[in-house]
Amino acid sequence: MYTKMWTIFLFIGAAKAGPITVSDEEMTWVEAQSWCESQNLQMLSIHNDDDQTAAEAACPTTNNCWLGLYCDENAQSHCKSTDDWQWADGSTFGYANWKPGQPNNYKGRQDCVWMKGGESWLWVDFACDAFVSESGKLTRREALAMCYDDGMIHDEDGYVLIERHRDVANGYFSSGNGIENEDDPEANTYSIIGALDESEYLLNGGYYDLKLIYKYHDEEHPEDVLEWTQTSWITENTITGADLSKIVDDEQGGRRFYGLGRSNSGPTYLDGDGTATTYWWHAVASKREHIGGIPAHQSRIAYSSELWIRTDEAMLSVSGPIDVERDNIIGFVDILDEMHFEMDFTISAWPTSGWGGIFQCGTTSNDRYPLVMVQPDSPSLGFYTWFRDGAGYSTKGGYSGGDGLELNTAYHLEIDFTQSELIVSLDGVVVVQEAKSPHNLHSQVPCGVFSNNFNSAAATVSNLYIDSIDAPSEPMEFRGASDVSVLQSGEAQTVSAEQSVAESAGSESSISLQIVIGVAAFGMGAISVLALLALKQRVQQKAAMKPAQEEHVPEVSVSAVPETTTNGQEVAIEMEAKQETV
């Protein structure tokens, strides 16, 4: 593969600035965010003149490039004030390089921002995703995706790695401040806990979502994975609001897991009871050994530890537990192309007759996005999942099957659906996988435990999490046939970077960044349009507002009805160029 490169020397103000990657094909903002995530990258954020200069060097002069900037959906000024904007990577918005008269949120649908190539690289607001124009055409605003590597390790569930002790055989942590090898996640001892801004990880509902993994030299029990939420930050001395319902723990006293807090024992930074006792079981970032390793879960001794924290803000996230009852609406979500639902449920009694509803997005028998029910035969048949979008819609998910369900037992349910498939998993096992008909997109659909469509089941729901993210491409285990498509690789231009940091006592650090810009071939392929995580699409068009400044730009309109298909996935569409005032 031939790669052309040239080098530009710049000064970047953010210590975490990393290589910039630019797509070779134009796409909408929503598609750009999904494309960046498919490369394990973040959409680019800009915080000073040096970041702006680096972005200008990366974006071709003949193109426009998307920035990771979008408007707060609850904006009081309808996205016309600079105070309404935020970065998709969670960083603080402050610096801006707007074109005069921008942002103007023309016709109430310009919630995202691109940088105009070749025009002083000024910022202009545009529509995030496809929309229907006044002429009735499905219209797309397209630019190149621009992404960067934030230097952190992300997993597919929305967590980032904040501590890892690879192997105690290679040593222990030397620092007790929660920061060690912060620029090298592959080091034997890695921790950024002490450098985190806790406010960036606080989810809706006022809690933190955490995952702690211990690994053992034991073939019968190689690891423990502890998943829980708590309302206190992990470096606080006292642990509060911990929901430990997913964790099996037979220990008592100082060996039991209560969440994570700052340890008052010298050998470790965090432990499983904070300062409640002098024990240091469930150690995180330990500085010395205990019986040859890390004191971990259920009195086991681990050789490795990992701590992860969830970063993405869900459309709806409620820790609970919530008692299932009729008309108990707990929130509203937009039903988009690809959705992910998670929850834990426990049934205390079976319905004596008919159906008992556990969860539904929608309020009638015709809008089930999805619907989860049980009935008197659920001890043998399991629960029932149903997806329906209108009276003529025929997709049904079916029973979970297997060994059925038991009373007073906590189950972890995950539901993923796309425009073509419904996948339901129970405790990590795929129990339903069905082809489905395409569905319409809907705005602000009520979700409840339970709605007025059925009688409520005698059950509780907790750890409810709803968002728009990738559906699983390869289930762990499936009881039946499987046909799950995977994303094809994309083609990219890569802007790599080398950083040197010079620091002196009592002075600010200066950071030198060397950017190497090149073109690498990967092949764009067919990429599903995934909705952005934090930004919900507005389906209802807002009232048109008079623009502060008019600008004429070409608009690409796409016929809403596909004519032919190629290779089962490429859609041949009629395109026409037209002009629209922005």
Residue 136: CB partners within 8 Å, gap ≥ 6?
Answer: 560
Average pLDDT over residues 492-508: 31
Q: Which domain holds residue 538?
A: 5-150+491-581
Q: What is the pLDDT of residues 502-514, one digit of tens each?
A: 222 233 333 222 3
Q: Binning pLDDT at 50, 70 and 90, where does residue 191 land? A: very high
Q: Does the pLDDT at position 323 exceed 50? A: yes
Distance (Å, whole) CA 491 – CA 523: 4
Q: Does 481 map to a domain?
A: no
> According to the model, what pLDDT value does residue 272 have?
97
Q: Are residues 164 and 90 in the same domain?
A: no
- Residue 288 carries which DSSP code? S
Q: Does 392 map to a domain?
A: yes
Which has the higher per-residue pLDDT, 149 or 4?
A: 149
Q: Binning pLDDT at 50, 70 and 90, where does residue 28 land? A: confident
How many folded domains does the chain comprise? 3
CATH of the domain at 33: 3.10.100.10
Give 468: exposed, middle or buried? Use CB within 10 Å, 0-12, 13-18, 19+.
Answer: buried
Report the chain's mean pLDDT, rounded to a whole number: 73
Q: What is the pLDDT of residues 172-190, one digit of tens each?
A: 999 889 999 998 999 999 9
Q: Where is average pLDDT lowest: 74-88, 113-127, 554-568?
A: 554-568
Average pLDDT over residues 461-484: 50
Give the three-class secondary structure for 487.
coil
H or E stretch at 424: strand 421-426
Q: Are residues 131 and 22 in the same domain?
A: yes
Strands 42-43 vs 143-148: parallel, antiparallel or unpaired: antiparallel
Q: Are residues 457 and 503 in the same domain?
A: no
CATH of the domain at 338: 2.60.120.200
Q: Are residues 200 and 163 in the same domain?
A: yes
Q: What is the pLDDT of residues 435-465, one digit of tens each?
A: 888 888 887 788 887 755 567 788 888 888 8
**What percent of the chain clears pLDDT 70, i.e. is strictly above it?**
70
Q: Does the pLDDT at position 12 exceed 60? A: no
Q: Does 431 map to a domain?
A: yes
Radius of gyration of the chain (CA): 25
Q: What is the pLDDT of residues 247-292, one digit of tens each?
A: 999 999 999 999 999 999 899 999 999 999 999 999 999 999 999 9
Q: Does 43 map to a domain?
A: yes
Q: Are residues 169 and 297 in the same domain?
A: yes
Which has the higher per-residue pLDDT, 466 or 394?
A: 466
Q: Are residues 328 and 453 in the same domain?
A: yes
300 φ/ψ angles, rounded to the nearest 5 degrees:
-85, 155
Q: Does the pLDDT at position 563 exceed 50? A: no
- Out of 295, 310, 325, a domain closes at 310
- Residue 561 carries which DSSP code? S
Q: Where is average pLDDT lowest: 161-165, 167-171, 311-315, 574-578?
A: 574-578
Q: Does 474 map to a domain?
A: no
42 φ/ψ angles, rounded to the nearest 5 degrees:
-110, 150
Q: Are residues 135 and 166 in the same domain?
A: no
Q: Where is average pLDDT lowest: 6-10, 60-64, 138-142, 432-436?
A: 6-10
| Inter-CA distances, 142 with 172, 555, 556, Å | 49, 9, 8
- Out of 421, 451, 467, a domain closes at 467
Q: Does the pLDDT at position 131 exceed 50? A: yes
Q: Are residues 25 and 119 in the same domain?
A: yes
Q: Are residues 327 and 463 in the same domain?
A: yes
**């073109």: which residue's tokens?**
519
Which has the higher per-residue pLDDT, 97 or 315?
A: 97
Q: Binning pLDDT at 50, 70 and 90, where does residue 329 land? A: confident
Q: Does the pLDDT at position 7 exceed 60? A: no
Q: Does the pLDDT at position 427 exceed 80? A: yes
> According to the model, what pLDDT value does residue 380 have?
85
Q: Are residues 143 and 239 in the same domain?
A: no
Of these ranges, 40-44, 244-248, 287-291, the one predicted with the greatest mean pLDDT is 287-291
Average pLDDT over residues 413-428: 89
> According to the model, what pLDDT value does residue 134 have?
62
0.85 exceeded by pTM: no
Q: Does 473 map to a domain?
A: no
Q: Are residues 294 and 167 in the same domain?
A: yes
Average pLDDT over residues 106-131: 78
DSSP labels, 153-212: -B-TTSEEEEEEE--GGG-----SSS-BSTT-TTSSEEE-GGG--GGGGPBTTTBEEEEE
Q: Are residues 495 and 431 in the same domain?
A: no
Q: Does 422 map to a domain?
A: yes
Q: Does 404 map to a domain?
A: yes
Average pLDDT over residues 114-125: 83
- Out of 287, 310, 333, a domain closes at 310
Among candidates 33, 39, 253, which has minimal Cα distance to 129?
33
How crowded is residue 151: how many other Cβ atoms within 10 Å of its Cβ?
17
H or E stretch at 379: helix 378-381
Q: Does the pLDDT at position 305 exceed 80? A: yes
In angstroms, the first-to-last Cα distance of the chain is: 41
> According to the model, what pLDDT value does residue 576 have?
24
